[in-house]
Amino acid sequence: MEPIEVREKTYGKASPIIQQSFAPKQVGPGGLWKVYLKAEDANGDMRRIVCTIDQPGMGTYPSSYIRIREADRKELSGYIYLNTQLSRNLQFVNLTLTVHIEDMAGHLSQPAVFPLSFNSRSIRETPPAGTFAEKDLGPIMIQLRTPFDDERPDRDRE
């Protein structure tokens, strides 16, 4: 990859800006967690949404990247989502999602940080009306785990 100075000559020096964001603080285990974003880039060269998840007891998962469609490279509004259907034992698990937007030059936006706890009694929160487009920007491709996922059933123990 070429140095950032070279990429800045082609794409400019402005970094993307996440103007507004929203995510529910709780979701039921196995649910779909929608994280809403509104962002812009003066150069119109937003490239991808970079997501990392930190989970106590499990550490930081490898980053997930969501490619930004060409039509959304100057301004975007919509949601990314984490599907937890395939994850087990998430009741009362807490985690933190950090989102950046990266442009073609390699500049990152300031982070947007979202705490989440899994609770089967969670109350559905919705974003402020009229703030975000109800547009699917892509999935967060991280499968959550818990320390219990590695346990064997009692019948396997000797």
- Which residues, in sequence order, are bridge partners of residue 36? 22, 79
Residue 34 is assigned to a structural domain of this protein: yes
- Strands in 17-22's sheet, in edge-to-edge order, are 17-22, 32-40, 75-83, 136-139
Residue 155 is assigned to a structural domain of this protein: no
Residue 20 is assigned to a structural domain of this protein: yes
- 3-state secondary structure (DSSP) of residue 23: coil
Phi and psi at residue 55, in whole multiples of 5°?
-130, 120
Residue 153 is assigned to a structural domain of this protein: no
Higher-pLDDT residue of 153, 125: 125
Residue 7 is assigned to a structural domain of this protein: no
Q: What is the pLDDT of residues 84-124, one digit of tens each?
A: 887 778 888 999 999 999 999 999 999 999 999 998 888 88
Which pLDDT does position 13 carry in this prediction?
87
- 3-state secondary structure (DSSP) of residue 72: helix
Average pLDDT, the chain: 90
Prediction pTM value? 0.89
What is the rounded average pLDDT of the residues 43-49?
96
State the number of CA atoms in the 13 A half-sphere of 92 facing the CB.
2
Is residue 83's pLDDT more than 60?
Answer: yes
Is residue 156's pLDDT more than 70?
Answer: no
For residue 33, what is the domain's CATH number? 2.60.40.10
What dihedral angle (degrees, nearest 10) is formed by the CA atoms of 124, 127, 128, 132? -160
Task: Give CA–CA dist 20/115, Å, rounded.
Answer: 16
Is residue 22's pLDDT more than 90?
Answer: yes
Q: What does DSSP say about strands 64-67 and 26-27: parallel, antiparallel, or unpaired?
A: unpaired
Is residue 149's pLDDT more than 70?
Answer: no
What is the rounded average pLDDT of the residues 63-70?
97
- Residue whose pair of structure tokens reads 């300031």 in the numeric block: 110
**Closest alpha carbon to 105 in 43, 51, 63:** 43
Task: Give CA–CA dist 72/24, Å, rounded.
Answer: 24
- Cβ atoms 77, 38 nearer than 8 A: yes
Domain enclosing residue 89, as ranges: 14-117+130-143
Is residue 33's pLDDT more than 70?
Answer: yes
What is the rounded average pLDDT of the residues 139-153?
76
Task: Give CA–CA dist 112/99, Å, rounded.
Answer: 5
Residue 8 is assigned to a structural domain of this protein: no
Which pLDDT does position 103 carry in this prediction?
96
Which pLDDT does position 157 carry in this prediction?
42
Task: Give CA–CA dist 101/75, Å, rounded.
Answer: 12
Report residue 158's pLDDT band, with 50, 70 and 90 as the boundaries.
very low
Residue 3 is assigned to a structural domain of this protein: no
Residue 150 is assigned to a structural domain of this protein: no
Q: What is the pLDDT of residues 119-140, one digit of tens each?
A: 888 888 999 999 999 999 999 9
The total number of structural domains in the chain stands at 1
